[in-house]
Structure 1
Amino acid sequence: MPDEPLVVIAVFRPAEGAREQVLAALERAIPRVHEEAGCNLYAIQEAPGGVIWMVEHWDSAALLDAHGAGEPVADLNAALDGLLVAPVEVIRLTPIPIGDPHKGAVAA
């Protein structure tokens, strides 16, 4: 299978009282990641209970892997040390496009 675009969800669970520090760490990292090759979307959303979801869209798994091994992620991980109740959960998703091609798949 060719290296195709993919969507990733990363879940951040801030420790009690650490939300603002987690957001500050993400605020420093996100602009750097936006400049990385293959990054089409890298955006955070807040879910009930204070869980922060990062929604990502990458041109390929290879470029996502390079992102994961890069300096912005290393710096973010260091900045998040001790601020989360669990390790960041990273979920790679495979599209199942159904219906309208513009509405039936996540793309950026």
Structure 2
Amino acid sequence: MSVIIVANLVAKAGQEELVEKTLLEAVPAVHDEPGCARYSLHRKKGTVGHFVMVEKWASENDLQSHRGGIAMAKVGKVLGDALAEAPSVVVLDALPAGDLDKGAL
């Protein structure tokens, strides 16, 4: 069963460009990680420093490997002092309904 994640990251004032650049640079590396079905970066509409990452992993093991992987270590090192607060991470259980292509990630 796949694992869905929604992570919110808020940059400190003046650190918005660094946070965006760091997250964008991590995306291709994460896409190559085993079990990554989705890793897509978004910015909260009307903001410059509130980012939302939507993730889908094939398994909990794949997610754990991602969390301990090289890409996340680099992100953590660069963004350690650039975020206004710790990332808010929500793990979701899908409740598919209707057209499965539209009703689930």
**SS of the residue 2:94 aligns to:** coil
CA RMSD of aligned residues (A): 1.1
- Identity of aligned pairs, percent? 32
Structure 1 partner of 2:33 = 36
Q: Where does structure 1 differ by over 2 angstroms across 4 or more consecutive aligned residues?
A: none
Partner of 2:96: 97
> Which residue is 1:76 aligned to?
75
Distance (Å, rounded) in 1 between the aligned partners of 2:24 and 2:70:
15
Deviations, residues 2-30 of structure 1 (Å, cap 9, x unaligned): xx112111111011111100011112211
Query: Aligned partners of 1:103 and 1:55: how far apart in 2?
Result: 16
SS at match of 1:10: strand
- Matched residue of 1:54: which SS? strand
Unpaired runs of at least 5, structure 2:
none
- TM-score scaled by structure 2? 0.92
Aligned residues: 103
Of residues 12, 18, 27, the one that matches 2:9 is 12
TM-score normalised to structure 1 length: 0.89
Partner of residue 56, structure 2: 57
Helix, strand or coil for the counterpart of 2:86?
Answer: coil
Aligned residue number for residue 20 of structure 2: 23
What's the CA shift for 1:90? 1.5
Structure 1: which 5+ runs fail to align?
none
